């Protein structure tokens, strides 16, 4: 492992490309390896043991590629096994959790809806996070499995279907003051969601915080690269690689 080693980034499917984009923006000179586990998507309906097995297989592959850090670009996988992975591997494992703290810092006495997978919302890790804030804030758990499916099926151009789906989840959010996008797939809907809610509603995700943390971790170990910048896509369903590049291009066009 050295400065020129790549950073490994993985997700249960294609949602983590939103994290990949953010990391590439923060660290444009880093070589990035993205692995989407679309063959086994979604993780949100699987058991902890099943998710852990997949994450170990992925991280074993990353280690064979001599990565210098691994980013779990998936809230569900982080909830399931980040501690197991950190004990197993000798490099930094950077996880994600719903950006509830960020939302709470916006204003006091809010109603906050956390949109995430079923697994993330029922796990002890999220319960502990929620308990830190639920005495001062009204926090709603809103599982949104259809938003994962639409990204994986390359249906982001089906605006009527997406709007109907978002409106259904908004109805469950009970006029929340803030909406936390607690799944990396959901960032692809951010612009449309912003058009459906009042300007007073805050839409929050954890991607920028994850990218900053990745930079800080590498800087602390003098592992920042200044001579790279390549992005390489892999997927357990190889036919998803073209869609992976398409999704990254769409995100980067929005910047």
Active site residue 144: no
Nearest C-alpha neighbor of 126 from the set 109, 107, 139, 136 = 139
pLDDT value for 180: 97
| Residue 221 pLDDT level (bands cut at 50, 70, 90) | very high
The two structure tokens encoding residue 66: 């001599």
- pLDDT tens digits, one per residue of 103-127: 999 999 999 999 999 999 998 889 9
Q: Which entry of 74, 81, 104, 144 is annotated as an active-site residue?
A: 74
Cross-sheet strand order for the sheet of 178-181:
138-143, 111-116, 178-181, 202-205
| Residue 104 known to be catalytic | no
Kindly state the tokens that stand for 25.
Answer: 């923006």
CA gap 35, 221 in Å, rounded: 24
pLDDT at 253: 81
CA distance 35 to 14: 9
Segment 29-44 shows an average pLDDT of 95
Over residues 147-158, the pLDDT tens digits come to 999 999 999 999
DSSP 187-214: GGGHHHHHHHS-TTSEEEESHHHHHHHH
pLDDT tens for residues 62-84?
Answer: 999 999 999 999 999 999 999 99
Backbone angles phi, psi at 208, to 5 degrees: -65, -40
**55, 81, 104, 183: which one is catalytic?**
183
Task: Concatenate the DSSP letters of all residues of 69-110 into one string.
Answer: EEEE--HHHHHHHHHHHHHH-SSEEE-----HHHHHTT-SS-
> Are the CB atoms for 32 and 11 separated by under 8 Å?
no
> How far apart (Å, rounded) are the C-alpha atoms in residues 50 and 37?
13
Between 57 and 123, name the one with better pLDDT.
57
pLDDT interval class at 130 (50, 70, 90): very high
Q: What is the pLDDT of residue 254?
A: 72
pLDDT of residue 255: 56
What pLDDT does residue 44 have?
Answer: 87
Q: Would the pLDDT of 237 be above 80? A: yes
Residue 145 makes CB contacts below 8 A (sequence gap 6+) with 42, 44, 45, 117, 118
Question: Mean pLDDT over residues 174-192, rounded?
Answer: 95
Taking the CA of residue 202 as centre, how many other CA atoms within 13 Å lie in the half-sphere pointing to its CB? 17
Collapsing DSSP to helix, strand or coil, 235 comes out as strand
The predicted structure's pLDDT at residue 252? 87
């Amino acid at each position: 492992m050295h400065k020129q080693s790549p950073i490994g980034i993985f997700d249960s499917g294609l949602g983590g490309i939103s994290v990949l984009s953010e990391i590439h923006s923060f660290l444009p000179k880093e070589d990035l390896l993205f692995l989407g586990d679309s063959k086994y998507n979604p993780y949100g309906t699987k058991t902890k043991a099943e998710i852990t097995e997949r994450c170990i297989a992925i991280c074993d592959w990353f280690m064979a590629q001599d990565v210098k850090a691994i980013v779990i670009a998936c809230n569900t996988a982080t909830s399931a096994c980040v501690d197991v992975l950190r004990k197993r591997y000798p490099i930094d494992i950077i996880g994600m959790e719903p950006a509830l703290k960020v939302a709470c810092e916006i204003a006091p006495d809010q109603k906050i809806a956390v949109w995430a997978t079923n697994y993330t919302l029922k796990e002890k890790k999220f319960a502990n996070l929620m308990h830190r804030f639920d005495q001062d804030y009204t926090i709603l758990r809103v599982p949104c499995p259809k938003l994962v499916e639409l990204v994986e099926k390359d249906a982001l151009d089906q605006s009527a279907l997406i709007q109907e789906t978002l409106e259904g989840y908004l109805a469950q959010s009970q006029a929340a003051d803030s909406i936390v996008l607690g799944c990396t797939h959901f960032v692809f809907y951010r612009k449309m969601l912003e058009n459906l809610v009042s300007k007073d509603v805050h839409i929050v995700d954890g991607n920028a915080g994850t990218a900053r943390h990745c930079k800080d971790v590498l800087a602390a170990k003098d592992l920042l690269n200044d001579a790279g910048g390549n992005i390489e896509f892999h997927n357990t369903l190889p036919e998803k690689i073209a869609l992976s590049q398409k999704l990254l291009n769409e995100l980067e066009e929005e910047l």
